[in-house]
């Protein structure tokens, strides 16, 4: 068997075209969806991510404002910028790129963002809304994974989903979203005993650890859906995920590639969240 590919680039194109249409509708009401992106310091990966986010906004008819500060920018000054953006009616979404320099308390900064503008979905109010099923912004990466499952018409009810990784940004919200669709969810992590015994039972596996070859072909039930959230480099410096793609694709029913899988979907869901924040602000 060779798995079918879930193409994150193609799905992103479709969803971003829908964002562009809805942005045009808002424009007619005099509202341009606006995203503020704050980057502190010169982390090279963050610079690439931020550039991609800003470009994606432009391509979909959203306005973005990029604020760059050097690594010595103080926590108080950053909190003051967040406060100003919270009160700016032209800004509907605020994203503070992580990681922040060590002298800044990232959680404090995230909690300073108005939940109505928390398009990353990292605020405790957003996490609480997801947990309780109330309206709020969902973190972009797991939300993108759910859209990928939706795109193949996958019915999660009663399925066993195994999430590998328990971060606040991916693993934990992913588990809640799968549970919200009536899957039976197992969350695995570094202290899990016999990971393979669990993944072999899974109908859906989401790998979100940040380590190569966490999931290999011998760990996958034939026909399972495999979602790879990892972003790693192999020995040749090539981008790769957490999943041994070449091996697992011979067993799985569906698989997401890296690159071209979850990565573009994360940015797409940021655009969707920003658009929704703008729509909710409309009179
Ligand atoms: N750093 C890596 N990924 C992300 C993300 O999705 N949002 C923010 N704010 N920072 C990140």
What is the CATH classification number for the domain harbouring 40? 3.40.50.10860
Count of CA atoms in the C-beta half-sphere (13 A) of 48: 3
Which of 114, 148, 180 is the last residue before a domain boundary?
Answer: 114
Tell me the C-alpha to C-alpha distance, in Å, between residue 259 and each of 9, 11, 229, 233, 262: 9, 14, 10, 11, 8
Instruction: Verify that 91 and 149 share a domain, yes or no.
Output: no
Name the residue of 46, 50, 120, 273 to mutate for ligand 1: max ligand atoms within 8 A of Cβ. 120
Same domain membership, residue 236 and residue 192: yes
Is 191 a domain residue? yes
Task: Check the CA dihedral 126-180-19-56 and report its sign.
Answer: positive
Q: Is position 11 within any domain?
A: no
Q: What is the pLDDT of residues 9-24, one digit of tens each?
A: 999 999 999 999 999 9
**d(CA 267, ligand 1 centre) in Å:** 10
Cα 229 from Cα 109, distance rounded (Å): 25
Domain assignment of residue 210, given as a range: 140-263
Categorize the per-residue pLDDT at 1 as very low, low, confident or very high, splitting at 50, 70 and 90: confident
What is the tens place of the pLDDT at every residue in 51-100? 999 999 999 999 999 999 999 999 999 999 999 999 999 999 999 999 99
Q: What's the pLDDT tens digit per position in 87-115?
A: 999 999 999 999 999 999 999 999 999 99
Domain containing 238 — which CATH number? Answer: 3.40.50.720
Query: Are 107 and 165 members of one domain?
Result: no
Any bridge partners for residue 66, and if so which? 37
Is 196 known to be catalytic?
Answer: no
65 and 161 housed in the same domain: no
Residue among 98, 102, 78, 90 at smallest CA distance from 26: 90
Q: Is residue 198 part of a domain?
A: yes
* Domain-embedded: residue 179: yes
Number of structural domains in the chain: 2
Confirm whether 125 is domain-assigned: no
173 in the same domain as 100: no
Q: Is residue 120 annotated as part of the catalytic site, yes or no?
A: yes
Domain contains 281: no
267 lines ligand 1 (CB under 6 A): no
| Residue nearest atom 11 in ligand 1 by C-alpha distance | 98
Confirm whether 26 is domain-assigned. Answer: no
Asked if the model's pLDDT at residue 282 lies above 90, the reply is: no
């Amino acid at each position: 068997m060779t798995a079918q590919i879930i193409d994150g680039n193609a799905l992103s194109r479709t969803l971003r075209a829908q964002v562009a249409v809805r942005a045009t509708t808002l424009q007619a009401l005099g509202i341009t969806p606006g995203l503020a992106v704050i980057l502190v310091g010169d982390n090279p990966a963050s610079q690439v991510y931020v550039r991609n986010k800003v470009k994606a906004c432009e391509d979909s008819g959203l306005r973005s404002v990029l604020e760059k500060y050097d690594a010595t920018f103080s926590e108080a000054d950053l909190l003051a910028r967040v406060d100003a953006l919270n009160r700016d009616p032209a800004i509907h979404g605020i994203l503070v790129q992580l990681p922040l320099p060590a002298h800044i308390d990232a959680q404090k900064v995230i909690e300073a963002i108005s939940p109505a503008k928390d398009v990353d979905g990292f605020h405790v109010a957003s996490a609480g809304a997801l947990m309780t099923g109330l309206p709020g912004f969902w973190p972009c990466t797991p939300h993108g994974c759910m859209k990928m499952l939706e795109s193949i018409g996958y019915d999660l009810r009663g399925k066993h989903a195994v999430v590998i990784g328990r971060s606040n940004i991916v693993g934990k919200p992913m588990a809640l979203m799968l549970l919200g669709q009536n899957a039976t969810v197992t969350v695995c992590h570094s202290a899990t005993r016999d990971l393979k015994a669990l993944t072999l039972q899974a109908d859906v596996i989401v790998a979100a650890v940040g380590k190569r070859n966490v999931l290999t072909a011998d760990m996958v039930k034939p026909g399972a859906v495999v979602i790879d959230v990892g972003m790693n480099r192999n020995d040749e410096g090539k981008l790769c995920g957490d999943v041994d793609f070449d091996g697992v694709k011979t067993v799985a029913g569906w698989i997401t590639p890296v690159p071209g899988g979850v990565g573009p979907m994360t940015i797409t869901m940021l655009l969707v969240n920003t658009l929704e924040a703008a729509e909710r602000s409309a009179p």
